[in-house]
Amino acid sequence: MNPAVFLDRDGTIVEDVGVVSRPNQLVFLPRAVEALRLLGRYFRLFIVTNQSGVAHGTVSHEQILNVHRHLLNELRRQGVHIERVFYCPHDRQDGCACIKPKPHFLDVARREHNIDLSASYAIGDHPHDVDFATNGGATGIYVLTGHGQKHRGELASEARVADDLWDAARMILDRIDPKKMEVIDIDSQDNPPEQASR
């Protein structure tokens, strides 16, 4: 089975600018790409993002797909392979099964990509990213970028906290023995289509 890292998008990998409907709104946070490149040597990488703007009518599925296509291509160009992007297009009041912190997409990744959730991590700038990890049997790491500083007081006292994605990556790699981890060759992989729960 494969260990993985599940990453929030806005405020974790890219700047949180609100609703993102165009590729040119994506701005990588400092050291984020370097962190992904480092994590990608030993972990399968997934992006999991709540995009309630679809439910609110402020962004369409097609715009989300276009933004993510650009994001995957740019990361690939910089040596980062993302296995899949999962996004929930619902409002929290919809009662869907896929919105974080529900572990729906962790379960999908486990089944479809043979992921060992007990050896996996989820990283994000909202408390629900940490709860998402816990609910799926993974380990959560909270970052202080994006909305991280604002919601830090809502975390449980035992939550793991990192300054940013780079700091989170170092925290993860300090906990593993690289000699026991399979090194992943991203040159042999292609980006599959992303998945949304509708």
Per-domain residue ranges for the chain? 4-196
- Strand partners of residue 122: 6, 140
Read off the pLDDT of each residue in 18-42 and give the average, rounded to a whole number: 96
Q: Which of 8, 125, 129, 164 is catalytic?
A: 8
The predicted pLDDT at position 182 comes to: 74
CA distance 107 to 91: 21
CA distance 170 to 96: 34
Q: Which of 10, 129, 131, 164 is catalytic?
A: 10
Instruction: Name which of 33, 31, 38, 29 is nearest 173 in CA terms.
Output: 38
The predicted pLDDT at position 113 comes to: 97
What share of the chain in percent tops pLDDT 90?
Answer: 85
For residue range 81-94, list pLDDT tens digits in order: 999 999 999 999 99
Note if 10 is an active site residue.
Answer: yes
pTM of the entire predicted model: 0.92
Note if 125 is an active site residue.
Answer: no
Read off the pLDDT of each residue in 44-52 and give the average, rounded to a whole number: 96
List of long-range contacts for 185-192, beta carbons under 8 Å, 24+ apart: 186/40, 186/79, 186/80, 186/81, 189/81, 191/72, 191/73, 191/76, 191/81, 191/82, 192/83, 192/84
| Other CB atoms within 10 A of residue 68 CB | 25
Phi, psi of 118 (to 5 degrees): -70, -20
For residue range 119-172, list pLDDT tens digits in order: 999 999 999 999 999 999 999 999 999 999 999 999 988 899 999 999 999 999
The residue with greater pLDDT, 115 or 178, is: 115
The predicted pLDDT at position 183 comes to: 76
Q: CATH: 3.20.20.70, 3.30.450.20, 3.40.50.1000, 3.60.110.10. Which one for 4-196?
A: 3.40.50.1000
Cite the DSSP H helix spans in 53-146. 53-56, 61-77, 104-113, 127-136
The predicted pLDDT at position 198 comes to: 44
The residue with greater pLDDT, 62 or 185, is: 62
For residue range 98-131, list pLDDT tens digits in order: 999 999 999 999 999 999 999 999 999 999 999 9
Q: What rounded mean pLDDT belongs to the chain?
A: 92
- Structure token digits, residue 133: 């990890």
- Structure token digits, residue 150: 């604002």
Read off the pLDDT of each residue in 36-51 and give the average, rounded to a whole number: 97
* Contacts with 99 (C-beta within 8 Å, 6 or more apart), sequence order: 50, 52, 88, 90, 92
Q: Could you check whether the bond before residue 30 is cis, i.e. omega within 30 degrees of 0?
A: no
Per-residue pLDDT at 192 exceeds 60: no
